[in-house]
Amino acid sequence: MSESNFLKKFFDYKQVANNLELGICPQIIGYEKCSKKKAPITYNKSWFTLHFVISGYGFLTEENGLSSRIGPNTCFLLEPGSKATYGPDTDDPWIYAWVEFSGTTVKKLCQKADFNHFHNVLSCDRFEEIISFFKEIFSDYDSSTNEDSRDIFYASVLMNIFSILIGEHEEEATRESMSDKEANVAKIIQYFKANYTNPNLSVNDAAKKLFFSPAYLTRLFKEVTGVAPSQYIIDLRMREACDLLTKHSLSILKIASAVGYKNQFYFSKEFKRYYSVPPSHYTKKDENQSE
């Protein structure tokens, strides 16, 4: 991202009065175009801070010694008393905006955005939108308004930022979870296709073999396919039976056995329920329709 037009100075910040006891309370909002010689900072504040890297690079070394190189379109969270150290790259120092904040809802918001002790750096697809809030604060907002009004405005800006971060995380989580679900359902379908000829095949059997609970397998399968797994097994068997009836001269007993039915009469009953004609009349019905 190019340097934003709100950077009228190398450094600027706004102190928030916080006369109102809001659920999320910005303390300081600022930006800085760091110099190559700026010394690293060890964080020791009693509130949270979010940094948004606009351009350039820097590093973040956490208390456990894990170090990350951080560049544009990325934000990182510093937690109260974390003792993390951060600073600009000596060749291409970063420009960042930041907001320091506290409040009763902060921990929950950070968790929902996917910040945690092991994951305090996030990339952001809607980074320009987030930076536009800082532009508004430093370029457009009327500082002559009263303190309570400014407090509400600054809190609303921070809530908008979290709305974007949480929204992006939830979209990603949904994509990932659906991908995982589809992969699991593919395994279930593969198992059904490999075992539909076994008369003992059941949802409980599949769940046991694939290490799912029967309730979870049923819920997952229906969520992804729209069909209950027990119905899918019936559909699979009936389609195969239909194929055998039209392509091979086999007895009803052999076809029933080939698609997983021990009892020929039960198979015929199920077939008639499914196709509205008994299997002995299915090929004749098919021939009549083709004339």
Confidence at residue 60, expressed as pLDDT on a 0 to 100 scale: 94
Confidence at residue 142, expressed as pLDDT on a 0 to 100 scale: 60
> Mean pLDDT, the chain, as a whole number?
87
Domains by residue range for the chain, with CATH: 11-173 (2.60.120.280), 196-291 (1.10.10.60)
Cα-based distances in Å from 216 to 66, 164, 184, 204, 229: 38, 32, 11, 11, 11
| 33-43 pLDDT tens trace | 999 999 999 99
What's the average model confidence in pLDDT over 47-73? 91
Highest average pLDDT, of 3-7, 17-21, 78-82, comes from 78-82
Interatomic CA distance for residues 266 and 255, integer angstroms: 12
pLDDT score of 177 more than 80: no
* Tokens, residue 268: 């015929």
CB atoms within 10 A of CB 123: 12
| Angle ∠(160,158,140) on CA atoms, nearest 5 | 85
Compute the 3-state secondary structure of the chain and give helix, strand, coil in percent, each to the nearest 5: 50, 20, 35
| Angle ∠(3,66,120) on CA atoms, nearest 5 | 55
Confidence at residue 289, expressed as pLDDT on a 0 to 100 scale: 40
What's the average model confidence in pLDDT over 247-259? 89
Confidence at residue 229, expressed as pLDDT on a 0 to 100 scale: 95
Interatomic CA distance for residues 271 and 256, integer angstroms: 10
What's the average model confidence in pLDDT over 55-63? 92
Distance of CA 227 to the CA centre of its chain: 25
Confidence at residue 8, expressed as pLDDT on a 0 to 100 scale: 76
| 130-141 pLDDT tens trace | 999 999 888 766
Predicted TM-score (pTM) of this structure: 0.60
Residue type, 41: I
pLDDT score of 6 more than 80: no
Written as one string, the DSSP assignment of 216-255 is HHHHHHHHHHSS-HHHHHHHHHHHHHHHHHHH----HHHH
pLDDT score of 80 more than 80: yes
Upper half-sphere CA count for residue 219 (Cβ side, 13 Å): 5
Interatomic CA distance for residues 38 and 40, integer angstroms: 7
Highest average pLDDT, of 66-70, 146-150, 161-165, 174-178, comes from 161-165
What's the average model confidence in pLDDT over 240-268? 90
